[in-house]
Chains A and B, each alone.
Chain A
């Protein structure tokens, strides 16, 4: 029986050890005034000129300021580090007056020289710190010819040609201003030692665990309420949800639609905000059935967009009417009605076009930035199209492979493909994806080869017009034509969501999809 007593003793010992570990205060409450944010991934770098992901922007917007920023709750530009600006008659010279008395977190002054340094670093290949890149979004400012410091607090940008989205590009994270002294000190390591002028000062980056920023008591726009913010990368959406439920994080972004029901109680608040996002299907207008405008319209009538946003996406998106998201309120044509779901009409039109039973190859992605739930959506769309008489074959690709197939153009490969864009200006998407000069062969993203000279003209004119009202008119007209021509199936505009727990106050999501935390409180 010696064996048995031994086993009993072992079990007892193991049990005691387990019981001891249970007794530990494992899930201690997080401290007040320190906000824990559940991010979707580890940031790549905290150098605003070097990154492209919304996930990184969420941290950057709290550490840096740009010359201008989006007004709270809108996508309209207002002063930030610049107190004002003047645009020359011909739209090629922008002169900014800078805010006085602002310092970077390292104590060095913010001035015109600093602004020049920032843009030279990004745009001038001979700049001594150009090698701290690559700067993938530098082309946002490719129209900038020269940046000059006129005096201590005046800086002048000269553009090679009029370019209306310039101001809103300055409000984008790529235009955030970094401390030249810190770039000189850290070189290529600047992305892990960020220094800006923003409401929070960088404190610590523990790889794969957390980025910690602390409140900047001297912030020019009023010190933030919070002592610190801790950004935690939690890539798995289920784990992120569990952390939120267990109180390990106070704020969670990008809640999966299926998890929203977990947060219905009084302990949580779900925030929603429509943003400059559009989810659509690119149709191959060059060859095959979709070369016929009528058949493209059939697809728009056939897809049940309402079911997609309500059932597949659980209400986390709204039905899109045209190529421009309503979040660009000043440029959005609100007289547009989405194509109604009308399978009857779709069948009639299809017969009229003589394309019944047309075979379609449909590229679907497995995931990807802004793609929402692409496989489930693709399957539902396939069913809708087959119900009106198409014969649809899906081909599924991993995101990077998918982009490699779609961006060079659909010719000879597919009739339709899923796509989604998030942009900061109404110019960007149509200019890059709907013009004749934006065919893939020309270096653009018009993968479906849509071509309408009228649209080309409107977009070219809107880009060089400096008067916002004139631009709005042009964009609205463009949207009417594009909707009628149906180069895409317009499907959904995503509403970004976030959840906060009951300890958090003063939080609002922004249409820009940036996360601004300077007015947030936590008890």
Chain B
């Protein structure tokens, strides 16, 4: 097991290096530069040149890449010029917020998605199955940002049950309760599509397992139906459900961008969008590399989890 994990970690290194090259190249090639973004209407060539010098952008691109990479390997992601603070501080803070949002959504989609899929499969073509299938179709068809706006209009503006936006109350205490209040609407809006996908795939995975001999055996030897479904069948189906959950984890992370903008959630997705618009090169690069590293790491965790469940996968 140890050597498997190590092998996976080593193979992640070229992937990450590739990502640094790509994100650096994209930021170097896109039109528009930070100086123009800072100066706006006042971007005379003279001013642009001065700003570029101040930001160290007057050096050749290759040299800048290696300076950046070298600093990063020593844990220095540089300084964001648009926010005037270290990139790593900003990314870590923002990533925490994204993780809270995406993590909650992921738990919601895993729990409700799998449960709905299992119930659906256990009651194939029954009323519960049809109701769930309909709800799932509806769920995966609504764009999350639209759902988010509608939820704000109904539950925050009209009914005033939840705050409109933000992660914490602007005034007053910050405790778990207030976090949950702020988290509810965005987490649900973000989870809906993923829940639908998980439910669909769990249903088909369960149906496949339920047709197998060992299920018949279990039923024959008198295991209660509840045990058959939740213990025997679900456990076997998990082997095909877990990779789907892994993909959905990536999906909620990337889908968080829209939701973060709609709900003004202080997460890393919104940060990247703002950083791109202001051409905050180091912040974009640092943010993308950090998020990519997390993706890679997450994929390794999923693979390892899968190999624990199904020893055949480990090679």
Asked if A134 and B274 sit within 8 Å, CB to CB, the answer is no
Chain B residue at minimum C-beta to C-beta distance from A133 = B54
Asked if B262 and A239 sit within 8 Å, CB to CB, the answer is yes
Asked if A44 and B43 sit within 8 Å, CB to CB, the answer is no
Within the assembled complex, what's the spacing in Å between the Cα atoms of A45 and B133? Answer: 51
Asked if B164 and A246 sit within 8 Å, CB to CB, the answer is yes
Within the assembled complex, what's the spacing in Å between the Cα atoms of A334 and B46? Answer: 36
Q: Does A30 contact B (CB under 8 A)?
A: yes
Asked if B51 and A134 sit within 8 Å, CB to CB, the answer is yes
Q: Does A288 contact B (CB under 8 A)?
A: no
Shortest distance from the beta carbon of A324 to any chain B beta carbon, whole Å? 16
- Identify the stretch in A153-161, A397-405, A473-481, A514-522 within 8 Å (CB) of chain B at 4 or more residues: A397-405
Shortest distance from the beta carbon of B166 to any chain A beta carbon, whole Å? 6
By DSSP majority rule, is chain B's interface helix, strand, loop, or mixed?
A: helix
Within the assembled complex, what's the spacing in Å between the Cα atoms of A188 and B93? Answer: 20
Asked if A3 and B168 sit within 8 Å, CB to CB, the answer is no
Among B36, B157, B180, B226, the most chain A Cβ lie within 10 Å of the Cβ of B157
Q: A22-B161, A239-B263 are in contact. Are A209 and B115 (CB under 8 A)?
A: no
Asked if A232 and B161 sit within 8 Å, CB to CB, the answer is no
Q: B38 to chain A: which residues have CB within 8 Å?
A: 52, 134, 136
Interface string of A395-420 (1 = CB under 8 A from B): 00011110111010000000000000
Q: A248 to chain B: which residues have CB within 8 Å?
A: 163-165, 170
Asked if B149 and A44 sit within 8 Å, CB to CB, the answer is no
Q: Does B225 contact A (CB under 8 A)?
A: yes
In chain B between 64 and 115, which residues have their CB closer than 8 angstroms to a CB of chain A? 81-85, 90, 93-94, 97, 115
Chain B residue at minimum C-beta to C-beta distance from A397 = B31
For chain B, the count of residues having a C-beta within 8 Å of the partner chain is: 69
Asked if B266 and A209 sit within 8 Å, CB to CB, the answer is yes
Q: Does A191 contact B (CB under 8 A)?
A: yes
Q: Does B33 contact A (CB under 8 A)?
A: yes
Within the assembled complex, what's the spacing in Å between the Cα atoms of A205 and B160? Answer: 27
Q: Does A238 contact B (CB under 8 A)?
A: yes
Shortest distance from the beta carbon of A42 to any chain B beta carbon, whole Å? 7
Q: A405 to chain B: which residues have CB within 8 Å?
A: 31
Q: Does B238 contact A (CB under 8 A)?
A: no
Among A26, A133, A206, the most chain B Cβ lie within 10 Å of the Cβ of A26
Chain B residue at minimum C-beta to C-beta distance from A262 = B157
Interface residues on A, range: 35 or more
Q: A236-B264, A401-B32 are in contact. Are A34 and B171 (CB under 8 A)?
A: yes
Q: Does B45 contact A (CB under 8 A)?
A: yes
Q: A233 to chain B: which residues have CB within 8 Å?
A: 264
In chain B between 107 and 133, which residues have their CB closer than 8 angstroms to a CB of chain A? 115, 119, 122-123, 128
In chain B between 160 and 203, which residues have their CB closer than 8 angstroms to a CB of chain A? 160-168, 170-172, 177, 180-181, 184
Asked if B160 and A26 sit within 8 Å, CB to CB, the answer is yes
Chain A residue at minimum C-beta to C-beta distance from B156 = A246
In chain A between 152 and 209, which residues have their CB closer than 8 angstroms to a CB of chain B? 188-189, 191-192, 206-209
Asked if B40 and A52 sit within 8 Å, CB to CB, the answer is yes
Give the top 10 A-B pairs by smallest Cβ distance, nearest first: A400-B32, A208-B266, A2-B226, A27-B160, A134-B54, A401-B31, A45-B84, A401-B32, A243-B164, A26-B162
Binding site for B on A (CB under 8 A): 2-3, 6-7, 10, 21-22, 24, 26-28, 30-31, 34, 36, 41-42, 44-45, 47, 50, 52, 133-134, 136-137, 139, 188-189, 191-192, 206-210, 230, 232-236, 238-239, 242-243, 245-246, 248, 368-369, 398-401, 403-405, 407, 421-422, 443-445
30 pairs from A and B in contact (CB 8 Å cutoff): A7-B115, A27-B161, A27-B163, A30-B171, A31-B171, A42-B274, A44-B82, A136-B38, A136-B51, A189-B85, A207-B83, A207-B90, A207-B93, A208-B270, A232-B166, A235-B261, A235-B264, A235-B270, A235-B274, A236-B262, A239-B152, A239-B165, A239-B263, A242-B157, A248-B165, A400-B36, A400-B279, A401-B31, A403-B40, A443-B45
Q: What would 18 more interface pairs be, CB under 8 Å, given A230-B170, A400-B33? A: A2-B226, A6-B226, A24-B177, A26-B162, A27-B161, A27-B163, A41-B274, A42-B83, A44-B82, A188-B84, A189-B85, A209-B266, A246-B160, A248-B164, A401-B31, A443-B45, A444-B44, A445-B41
